[in-house]
Amino acid sequence: MTLWITTSLLMTAPSTASGTFWMPEQASTVANSVDFTFDLITWISYFFFVVIVGPMIFFMVKYRRKTHSPTTEGPTHNTPIEIIWTVIPLLLVIVIFVVGMRGYLNLQEAPEGCYEVSVTAQTWFWTFDHPEYGATQVGELTVPVGKPVRLLMTSNDFLHSLWVPSFRVKMDVIPGRFTSLWFEATKVGDYQLLCTEYCGKDHSKMQAIVHVVPEDEFDARMVKLASEYEDMSIEQLPAYAINRLYNRCQSCHTLDGSESTGPSFVGLWDRVNSGEVGFTSGEILSSLYGEGSEYVIPENYIRTSLLNPQKHIVKSYLGAMPSFQGQLKEKQILAIIEMFKHLDELVDADGTITVNSDGTPR
Ligand code: CUA
């Protein structure tokens, strides 16, 4: 029984669906070699733990000082033993180096003909651009199975780090430069992607899902994604925005009225429309409305807030919002404005979204 428990805890059998005690499911081509290196080092550690600590405990008991008679002189040195305990670890670290280096080089060198995705990290969400399709995803990344994918990554603000545990890939994402990583997913399914570099208040919410789909489905999905909102009527835009665009806002703006880094979206349209919003500058929004004034109509204030959020900072907030210049098409900005206007039809009192992106109830 004890043996069975020990074995199941320590066994790191390859590619079981649910993963092992130490490792999550293996879902990429490099996962096996990463786990092999990990297992090798782990088993060497188990072995030497037993070999060193076992006799140590045995000798402690056997040779403990039983009487107060004087102790004898111990040996000063033993050349054969010292050579053995130097040469064996030396050979072991050479083996570990070779195995680790091979895996490392494999992770570094992306194969030819990768599908390219450009990744932008921003407090506190991930944006994935598919240049081949002109499609953008936020909070989710769709990739084809059985095809190498290369992520070209940068950050708009702080240090972040992209990690997909099931793929065994992880790389820092740094402002002002590009880093990259590659993987080839081996199984269709959904996998967790997360930020693994502490980047501020909502670091723990900076997650995304990787959808691995069959290659023949991938193309159709991307084409649909790229043009999804273009043919929508204005009535269809709120449901689209709450499902496809709100995930860029959710780390700072709540749907249940509670306080966060930015003002809640609940009641936002009423506040903006009536102009009762006060700014840190002391100005009141309503004074900026009207013919010949800065915004003429309230919709323009929202547009400016998205594209140039530092221009007016709402009173009692810090102005932490990044600019969405170049990230939103005009129709998507319109969709967000429509979302504010119709928010009570899209979410319930707890802030749970109640419609799908095509407008059907959830
Ligand atoms: Cu981004 Cu932690």
Task: Please give the pLDDT value at position 201.
Answer: 87
SS3 for 302?
helix
Tens of pLDDT, residue by residue over 209-222, are 999 999 999 999 99
Tell me the CA–centroid distance for residue 309 and ligand 1, in Å: 21
**pLDDT band for position 311 (cuts 50, 70, 90):** very high
pTM over 0.85: no
Say if ligand 1 is within 6 A of residue 153 CB: no
Relative to the CA of 124, which ligand 1 atom is closest?
1
- Averaged pLDDT score across all residues of the chain: 89
Residue 14 clears pLDDT 70, i.e. is over it: no
Tens of pLDDT, residue by residue over 96-148, are 999 999 999 999 889 999 999 999 998 888 999 998 888 888 889 999 999 99
Phi, psi angles (nearest 5°) of residue 252: -120, -20
- Nearest 10 degrees: CA dihedral of 331, 334, 340, 344? -60
Tens of pLDDT, residue by residue over 155-200, are 988 999 999 999 999 999 999 999 999 999 999 999 999 999 999 9
**Separation CA 270–CA 167 (nearest Å):** 46
CA dihedral over 261, 265, 266, 270, signed as positive or negative:
positive
**Separation CA 118–CA 91 (nearest Å):** 42
Residue 16 clears pLDDT 80, i.e. is over it: no
Tell me the CA–centroid distance for residue 205 and ligand 1, in Å: 8
Relative to the CA of 196, which ligand 1 atom is closest?
2
Cβ-based neighbours of 319, under 8 Å, separated by 6 or more: 280, 309, 310, 313
Q: Which of 10-14, 69-73, 247-251, 292-296 is the least confident region?
A: 10-14
Tell me the CA–centroid distance for residue 137 and ligand 1, in Å: 18
User: Locate tokens 């208040």: which residue?
Assistant: 201
Residue pair 26/32 in contact (Cβ under 8 Å)? The answer is yes
Residue pair 134/121 in contact (Cβ under 8 Å)? The answer is no
**Separation CA 135–CA 333 (nearest Å):** 16
Name the range with the highest mean pLDDT among 154-158, 179-183, 223-227, 353-357.
179-183
Say if ligand 1 is within 6 A of residue 203 CB: yes
- Cα Dmax for the chain: 104
Tell me the CA–centroid distance for residue 124 and ligand 1, in Å: 6
Task: Please give the pLDDT value at position 314.
Answer: 94
Q: Which of 10-24, 30-44, 175-189, 250-264 is the least confident region?
A: 10-24
Residue 6 clears pLDDT 60, i.e. is over it: no
Residue pair 206/232 in contact (Cβ under 8 Å)? The answer is no
**Separation CA 292–CA 274 (nearest Å):** 18
In percent, how much of the chain has pLDDT > 90?
67
Relative to the CA of 200, which ligand 1 atom is closest?
2
Question: Does an H or E element contain 210, and which?
Answer: strand 207-213
Say if ligand 1 is within 6 A of residue 195 CB: yes
Residue 10 clears pLDDT 70, i.e. is over it: no
Say if ligand 1 is within 6 A of residue 155 CB: no
Residue 267 clears pLDDT 60, i.e. is over it: yes
Task: Please give the pLDDT value at position 12.
Answer: 40
Say if ligand 1 is within 6 A of residue 197 CB: yes
Question: Does an H or E element contain 208, and which?
Answer: strand 207-213
Tell me the CA–centroid distance for residue 35 and ligand 1, in Å: 25
Tell me the CA–centroid distance for residue 219 and ligand 1, in Å: 30
User: Locate tokens 């903006």: which residue?
Assistant: 272
Task: Please give the pLDDT value at position 3.
Answer: 40
Task: Please give the pLDDT value at position 5.
Answer: 39
Residue pair 117/162 in contact (Cβ under 8 Å)? The answer is no
Residue type, 83: I
Give the Cβ contact number of residue 245 at 10 Å.
21
> Quick one: which of 279, 291, 245 has its CA closest to 125?
245
Q: Which residue's CA is the closest to the ligand 1 atom numbered 1?
A: 160
Task: Please give the pLDDT value at position 13.
Answer: 40
Relative to the CA of 206, which ligand 1 atom is closest?
1
Cβ-based neighbours of 208, under 8 Å, separated by 6 or more: 125, 126, 128, 139, 140, 141, 193, 194
SS3 for 62?
helix
Mean pLDDT of 197-205: 91
In percent, how much of the chain has pLDDT > 70?
95
Tokens at residue 261, please? 């880094």
Residue 328 clears pLDDT 50, i.e. is over it: yes
**Strand 179-184, strand 148-155: pairing:** antiparallel
SS3 for 280?
coil
> Quick one: which of 343, 134, 360, 135 has its CA closest to 246?
343
Relative to the CA of 121, which ligand 1 atom is closest?
1
Residue 59 clears pLDDT 70, i.e. is over it: yes
Residue pair 226/133 in contact (Cβ under 8 Å)? The answer is yes
Task: Please give the pLDDT value at position 17.
Answer: 58
Q: In what order do the strands lie in the sheet with 160-164?
A: 140-144, 207-213, 189-195, 160-164, 169-173
Residue pair 18/25 in contact (Cβ under 8 Å)? The answer is yes
**Separation CA 91–CA 102 (nearest Å):** 17
What's the DSSP call for residue 296? Answer: B
**pLDDT band for position 313 (cuts 50, 70, 90):** very high
- Nearest 10 degrees: CA dihedral of 322, 326, 327, 329? 130
Task: Please give the pLDDT value at position 225.
Answer: 86
Q: Which of 14-28, 223-237, 310-324 is the least confident region?
A: 14-28
Tell me the CA–centroid distance for residue 266 and ligand 1, in Å: 26
